[in-house]
Amino acid sequence: MSMQYGALSHIDVSYDKKHLILQDLNLEFNKGELLSLLGPSGCGKTTTLRVIAGLIETNTGTFTLDGVDMTHIPVHKRDFGLVFQSYALFPHLTVFDNIAFGLKQRKCSTQETVEKVKSMMEICGISGYEKRFPKQLSGGQRQRVALARALVIEPKLLLLDEPLSNLDAQLRVQMRSTIKRIQQELGITTVFVTHDQEECFSISDRVAIMDKGRIEQCDTPQVIYANPACEMIARFVGFKNFFPISTAERIGLSVPQERMNALLWCIRPEKIDLVDLQSAMCIGTVEVRTYLGESYQYEVKTELGTMIVASSLHPPKAVGEQVGLNIAPEHVVFLDR
């Protein structure tokens, strides 16, 4: 079990007295982990990050780190590394001076500064750019400078606010593994804000999915993937067939005792089996067939409604054909909301 390193407790944030951006937010993070905040625009993930950074004051609640109450400590005393979406590099300073900025505030000696900056530049892959100015760098290079600047001060926490969203697709994939690699090497506890699910799941130790100022589920990507906490998250991670719990009985799907009060059941398209009509739990007609390459996706009209089925069964079913569907209870997820 990882050690709890820091926590936000009962955080409320609002800009005007009426509308709450964050409602009673509670979040824990463990030492050395990469925790992502994932969610649609407006869900409050950036606000949460800025609360941790100290850039936003909270109405109520506390933020503790390593046993210390950080709630009222000003930004410049928190010792966190921040990487902004726009990188926020200082335009009037060279790359070297940008990265060395934090060290200069900590009254590092010149020799030590040069050593640390040079070594961090190598880790981030920007050696040789010391004398350039931000205006002369490409997007990817500026991103690395921003990262190096935040890391070189050996911060207690690394906070990244959608650092990859301004990069093109290929660069984004490259940079996210760079960030993960560096984070693991240095063992820095990191909070990463993003709206890209694939990016998030691929590098995070844990993910906190947010919606409307609340955390809907906070767990490892594997757990979220297999057991989403609600319909929104389930859709996010690829579940497609959602039906009310009452319909389970009709097709002979057994509901475990403790999940009797659930609202919905759902299953992934690829987990529904195409079987012969006699042994099927449910029968339907193929309405639409889409070729996906490896498999076909069928929209099957059944007595419960349309089911989306993905199957690489050969030969493929034709439109209008009657098919039998089997739903194995171990692949079914029951949702309360």
Partner 1 sequence: MKLQHYVLAVGPSLLLAGVCLLIPLLATIIPTFFTPSFSLSSYIDFFSDSFFRTIFYRSLRLSLLTTLITIIIGLPTSYYISLRKEKTRRLLLSLIMFPLLTNAVVRGFAWISILGRNGIINQFFLSLGIIDEPLKLLYTDFAIVIGSVYLFLPVMISTLTSVMVGIGEEVLEASYSLGCSPSKTFFKIIIPLSFSGLLIASVLVFSGTISAYTTPTLLGGNQNMMLASLLYQQSNTLSNWSTSAVIAFIMIVVSMGVMKLFNLLAGKVDRRGEKDV
Partner 2 sequence: MYKHRFVTLIAILTLLFIFLPLVLIIVTSFNSANTISLPLQGFSLQWFTKVFKSRALVQSFKNSFLLAFTASLVGIVIGLVASLALVKRPGRLSKALLSLFLSPSLIPGIVIGYVLFLFLVVKVQLPLRTALILGHLLVVLPYCVRIITASLKELDESLEEAARTLGCPPVKAFVVIVLPNLKPAMTSAFMLSFINSFNNIPVSMYLKGPGMNTLPYAMMNHIEYNYDPTVSALSVMLMGMTLLFMVLLDRSMTRGQAKGVKGE
Contact residue for partner 2 among 31, 56, 178, 242 (CB under 8 A) = 56
CB of 56 to partner 2, least distance (A): 8
Is residue 75 near partner 2 by the rule CB under 8 A? yes
The partner in contact with residue 236, picked from partner 2, partner 1, none with C-beta cut-offs of 5 to 8 angstroms by kind, is: none
Least distance from C-beta 74 to partner 1, angstroms?
8
55 or 226: CB nearest partner 2: 55
Long-range contacts: 39-43, Cβ < 8 Å, 24+? Answer: 39/195, 39/209, 39/210, 39/211, 40/195, 40/211, 41/195, 42/212, 43/210, 43/211, 43/212, 43/213
Position 55 contacts partner 2 (CB under 8 A): yes
Cβ 156 to partner 1, closest distance in Å?
12
Q: How far apart are the C-alpha atoms of 51 and 26, rounded to whole Å?
A: 12
Our finding on whether 287 is near partner 2 (CB under 8 A) is no
CA-to-CA separations, 90 to 94, 135, 162, 232, 246, in angstroms, rounded: 8, 10, 19, 40, 60
Distance CA 302, CA 113 (A): 68
**Separation CA 49–CA 132 (nearest Å):** 30
Nearer to partner 1, 157 or 175 (CB): 157
Q: Does 15 bind partner 2 (CB under 8 A)?
A: no
- Closest to partner 1 by CB, 150 vs 224, is 150
- Per rule CB under 8 A, is residue 105 in the interface with partner 2? no
Residues near partner 1 (CB under 8 A): 53, 55, 74-82, 84, 86, 88-92, 101-102, 105-106, 133-138, 149-150, 153
Pick the closest to residue 7 from 151, 189, 199 (CA basis): 189
163 binds, among partner 2, partner 1, none (CB under 5 to 8 A by kind): none
With residue 112 as reference, give the H or E element that holds it.
Answer: helix 110-124
Question: Among residues 78 and 240, whose Cβ is nearest to partner 2?
Answer: 78
Query: Of 56 and 223, which has the nearer Cβ to partner 2?
Result: 56
Contact yes or no for 335/261 (Cβ under 8 A): no
The one-letter amino acid code at 192 reads: F
Assess 262 for contact with partner 2 (CB under 8 A): no
Query: 151 or 229, CB closer to partner 1?
Result: 151
Q: Encoding tokens for residue 248?
A: 């389970």
33-42 burial code (b ≥16 CB/10 A, e <16): bbbbbbbeee
Contact residues toward partner 2 (CB under 8 A) are: 54-57, 74-75
